[in-house]
Homo-oligomer: A and B are copies of this chain.
Amino acid sequence: MAVAPPPVIVLVRPQLGENIGKAARAMLNFGLTELRLVAPRDGWPNPDAGPAAAGADMVLAEAQVFDSLAEAVADCTTIYATTVRKRGVMKPVLTPEAAARAVHAEAGRSAYIFGAERSGLETDDVALAHAIVTVPINPKFASLNLAQAVILLAYVWSKHAPSEAEGGVALASPPTVPLDPVAPHAELEVLIQHLVRDLDASGYFVPPERTEATLRTLRTALTKTGWSHNDIRMMHGVITSLGRKPRAR
């Protein structure tokens, strides 16, 4: 399977260097490295970007600057305008997931474009895009900042990447920690017998005619546990300890 190149992140007229740094940091968390800046308000490089990038300096060092959005996306085949606002532009509106699937299916290079911190993308910017990407958001409180919008799109893109075996990005999956496997049932059975024996000795099963029902309830509770061999060994110790010693010391 041909693997599509990762999307370019284009910040259009970003205002604060700090936000450019934060966007770089957000990108690199999910394996995106290509940052392009269109007419950054305070020029470039910007001394406020580095500290905010928190180590994603490589992304900043390789960022490219353009005068216009058209130049910034000149080599891209598909352009996605990220905006939460409805616009008078007739474009397909995609979820981040649908856009991610399209990016991964695209042979060429895609771009996600993001507007300035306050004003967002202008109508002319959106007009240049092939589709709009909108993050489904609380209609009563839609307040994503620039880096948050970048990180959500980057995350969703990475989630839809083909697996490493297929040539996709190598993100660390949750470690497959060898969980302590659930013990075979026979071990739980021995534990229950141990518990019942000590409980019986302690006078737990009163009245005797309720013993069978009580045992069933106990067994049901203990069968919920999913305890491992080590857990069960510990519980033997617990029961023995409680049953062995008189309370007074």
Residues of A within 8 A of B (CB): 25-26, 28-31, 54-56, 86, 90-95, 97, 132, 134-139, 141-145, 147-148, 151-152, 155, 158-159, 170-177, 179-180, 195, 198-199, 201-204, 217-218, 220-221, 224-228, 230-231, 234-235, 237-239, 241-247, 249
A155-B152, A172-B137 known; A234 vs B221 contact (CB < 8 Å): yes
Q: What are 8 A-B contacts with C-beta separation under 8 Å?
A: A29-B144, A54-B145, A136-B171, A138-B172, A139-B170, A142-B172, A195-B238, A199-B242
A201, B136: Cβ atoms closer than 8 Å:
no
Contact of A172 among B139, B227, B237, B239 (CB under 8 A): B139
- Which residues of chain B are within 8 angstroms of A177 by Cβ–Cβ distance? 86, 90, 93
Number of copies: 2
A136, B151: Cβ atoms closer than 8 Å:
no
B171, A54: Cβ atoms closer than 8 Å:
no
Q: How far is the CA of A191 from the CA of B221 in the complex (A)?
A: 14
A244, B202: Cβ atoms closer than 8 Å:
yes
B218, A238: Cβ atoms closer than 8 Å:
yes
Contact of A242 among B148, B198, B227, B249 (CB under 8 A): B198
Contact of A139 among B91, B171, B225 (CB under 8 A): B171
- Which residues of chain B are within 8 angstroms of A95 by Cβ–Cβ distance? 173-174
A202, B245: Cβ atoms closer than 8 Å:
yes
Contact of A245 among B55, B203, B241 (CB under 8 A): B203
A26 → chain B closest CB, angstroms? 7
3 A-B pairs with least C-beta separation: A242-B242, A202-B245, A134-B174
B93, A247: Cβ atoms closer than 8 Å:
no
A221 → chain B closest CB, angstroms? 4
Q: How far is the CA of A22 from the CA of B123 in the complex (A)?
A: 29
B237, A204: Cβ atoms closer than 8 Å:
yes
A30-B138, A152-B155 known; A247 vs B201 contact (CB < 8 Å): yes
Q: A91-B179, A201-B249 are in contact. List 8 more A-B contacts (CB 8 A).
A: A54-B145, A90-B179, A136-B159, A137-B171, A137-B172, A203-B241, A203-B245, A204-B237
